Amino acid sequence: MDAGDLKIFQAVAREGSISKAARSLNYVQSNVTTRIRQLETQLQVPLFHRSNRGMSLTPAGENLLGYADRILQLLYEAEQAAQEGIPPSGMLRLGAIETAASSFLTPLLAEYRSCYPEVQHSLVTGGTHELNQKVIQHELHGALVYGPIDHPELNYMKMYDEEMVLIAEPGAHDIQALWSKPMLFFEIGCTHRTQAESLLKDQGIHTLNVMEYGTLDTILHGVSAGLGVSLLPRSSVTKAESRGEVVVMSLPDPYRRLEVGFVYSRSEHIASALSALVQIMTEPE
């Protein structure tokens, strides 16, 4: 049994299925299945109940999960403590909602890289809930998300306010007529969808017709082609607007503001690489 086995076991236990755990770990599904079977063989006890509804822990699995959580937490803290070098060095794993990755975080990382070239950073995009969970589980050191966030395991710093706007295909001008069109969003449960549901209720519309699109580019292309409309931060659509691919309309005041912030773990040990990034983020312009 090694840390890799425990990380895979923990992911399957949390996700409740091999396929979801494989996606969260970015592993091949067959590899996850094999590692779980090898772990059960090694321990000579089944760790999961398997059914059509997914996988749930056996009593032995529940006992192991408690130890796995503690061991992986200690390994994470050891990694953080070892990276407390001066100047900052090591790995910095970051996440961001897609709309903030290019407009805010990428320029910030360019400045960070020039100050701390010994730090190797990686960046993934995702939804706010997904990114928060990755930070809590120490898969990421920190992430840019929609806020505010109030969670006992997370520190949250407000970064900036965005203006939420409605975008539609070229030539559209009647905002009332657009509310009946399908709404294109990143995923079920995204912050934009929650904002849209509240806005449409005020317009007397109680059924939201949602089409899920995976990336910002596909949403913009879908809207431009007339497949629907979307609510997005203004900073993420200015280039498409300038090219004449979409039209942008302002929203009523209560629904115009969207807060973006940075979350990181309340863990006792904070890597010097992350501390340096937080310092740059909090410096006055």
pLDDT given for residue 191 in this prediction: 64
Element (H, E) at 187: none
pLDDT given for residue 198 in this prediction: 76
Confidence of residue 190 (pLDDT cuts 50, 70, 90): low
pLDDT given for residue 44 in this prediction: 93
Residue ranges of E strands in the chain: 48-51, 54-57, 90-96, 119-125, 142-147, 154-168, 183-185, 210-212, 230-233, 247-250, 257-265
CB 79 within 8 A of CB 65: no
pLDDT, tens digit (0-9, with 9 covering 90-100), for 53-101: 889 999 999 999 989 988 888 887 677 666 555 677 778 899 998 878 8
pLDDT, tens digit (0-9, with 9 covering 90-100), for 15-46: 899 998 998 888 999 999 999 999 999 999 99
Between these two residues, 276 and 82, which has the higher pLDDT value? 276
Non-local (6+) Cβ contacts of 114 within 8 A are none
pLDDT, tens digit (0-9, with 9 covering 90-100), for 95-150: 998 878 877 888 889 999 998 898 888 998 888 888 998 898 888 999 999 888 88
